[in-house]
Amino acid sequence: MTEPTTNCAAVRIGIVSISDRASSGVYADQGLPALQDWLGRALRNPVTFESRLIPDEQAQISQALVELVDVGCCLVLTTGGTGPALRDVTPEATLAIADKEMPGFGEQMRQISLRFVPTAILSRQVAVIRGQSLVINLPGQPKAIAQTLEGLKDADGQTLVPGIFAAVPYCIDLIGGPYLETHAEVCAAFRPKSAQRPAPTAG
């Protein structure tokens, strides 16, 4: 049974899938559906998604990120374009629009992925703050997106490795964004006691 969303602040979230072939129609994009599905399960807040499907072009990526921040997205998640290939320029495009870099997010994503593949060290995901928005580069595969956001759990549902999304709501608090609330069974947000608000009630 899911918790009620009553009294949770409505939020706007940007989701960006970066792929030359998906954006040109060679194959169906899987990144945007994966992002929307996971966020829809994890967040108690009513969410309006602003989505973009764009090629691996640095200027285009930077422009999309700026536009999403400017329309009020407190969080922008990208997928794709973070490897070492010549066309992989998502980190560069993200850093180009940053006010602050948040290296812990990329470090933790690589730690999670290293549980599965040694090539996780080739991933170059970054996270940055622009204004009052948090921008995070995620892996390209839907399964890896869920693993890095949610973390790894054992057969009993106990957390083995924390996912990065546990830290996202408090980060957004600190930069002046809306109060994000999560379904604990998907991803329990962590806040110090002084930053916690009473749980909303059904009404």
pLDDT for the residue numbered 201: 56
The tokens describing 179, both together, are 């109060």
Homologous superfamily, domain 11-194:
MoaB/Mog-like domain (3.40.980.10)
**Long-range pairs of 190-196 with CB within 8 A, sequence gap ≥ 24:** 190/166, 195/170
What is the reported pLDDT for 1? 34
pLDDT at 7: 77
What is the per-residue pLDDT for 3? 43
Give pLDDT, residue 199.
Answer: 67
pLDDT of residue 131: 97
How many whole angstroms separate alpha carbon 179 and alpha carbon 115? 31
* H or E stretch covering 51: strand 47-54
Q: How many residues are listed for the chain in this entry?
A: 203
CB neighbours of 94 closer than 8 A, spacing ≥ 6? 61, 62, 65, 78, 126, 128, 135, 137
pLDDT at 153: 81
Give the pLDDT score at 79: 97
Gap between the Cα atoms of 127 and 138, Å rounded: 9
Kindly list the averaged pLDDT for each block of 10 residues, start to end, along the chain of length 203.
61 97 90 97 97 97 98 98 96 98 97 94 97 97 94 82 95 97 93 85 49
Which residues on adjacent β-strands are paired with residue 152? 161
Domain extents for the chain?
A: 11-194
